[in-house]
Amino acid sequence: ADVLRVQLEIESLKQELEIWKTKVIAPTTTINQILNRPLDQAIIIEDSLAFATIVINRDSLIQNIVDNHPMLHLFDLQQEVSKEAIALNAAGQKPSFGVGLDYITVDKRSDAMPVRNGRDILQVKGVLRIPLYKGKYEAKEKEEQFKIEAIQYKKEDLLSQFKAKIDIAFATYNAAELQIALYQKQIALTQATIRILETNYSTSGNSFDELLRLQMDLIDYDLKTLRAIVQSHLAKSDMERYIQYY
C-alpha cells in the first residue's frame, strides 16, 4: 500500500510537469514573435539559475538619474526657457534710448538758387522710449513663473516615480534574499527529519504518512527557492532599466 501511494504521488508530479510543459507554449510563442523567429523555435534555457548578484548602489543610481535622465533634463530646459522669457520681459519694462542717422539725397534746382542748393542732407535723430503700461509685463512674468512651478511639480513627480520603482526593486531583491536563507534552513531541517523517519520506517514501518509529507515539502521548498531566485533576477532587471544613467 505504501509503494502504491508513492507511485500515485510520482504520477501526480509527472502530470503536473506535463501541464507546465503546455504552459510554456504561450510565452515561447510571444518571445519568438518579438525576436522575429519561427513561433515554435525552442528557447534554450540553462538547467540551473543562480541567485542574481547586483553591484548597484541605490543612492548613487538615483543621483545619476537626477543628473542625467533625459526626461528630467527636458524639464530643466523648459524651465530655462521660461527664465529667459522673464529676463526679456524685464528688459522690456526699462526705458530705452536709440540714436540714428537719416541721409536724404537732394537734386539741384535749376529754377532757383537757394543756399546749399543740391547738397544732400545728413540728419541725426534720437529716440527715447518709456513704457507707460506695465500690466502686460507683470501678467507675462506671472505666467512664466507659473510655468516654472508647474514644470517643477512634474519633475518632482517623475523623480518620485523613479525612486519608488527603484525602492520596490531593491525591496523585492532583499525579500528574495531573505526567503532563500529561510528555505535553505527549512530544507536542511526537513532532510534531517527525513533521515530519522527513514530509519524509523525501515525498522518498524511507522511514520510513513509523515515521511511522505516531508518529501512533498522538500519539493515545495525547491519550488519556492526557484521562485525567489527568479524574483531576484526580475528585481535586478527593474534596476538595470536605469543603469544607462548610472
pLDDT by residue for the chain (246 residues), tens digit each? Answer: 888 888 998 999 899 999 988 998 899 999 999 999 998 888 887 667 899 998 888 898 888 888 888 899 999 999 999 999 888 877 777 766 677 777 677 667 666 666 666 666 667 776 767 766 777 778 888 889 999 999 999 999 999 999 999 999 999 999 999 999 999 999 999 999 999 999 888 888 788 889 989 999 999 999 999 999 999 999 999 888 887 644
Distance CA 198, CA 179 (A): 28
Q: DSSP string covering 182-240, please? A: HHHHHHHHHHHHHHHHHHHHHHH---HHHHHHHHHHHHHHHHHHHHHHHHHHHHHHHHH
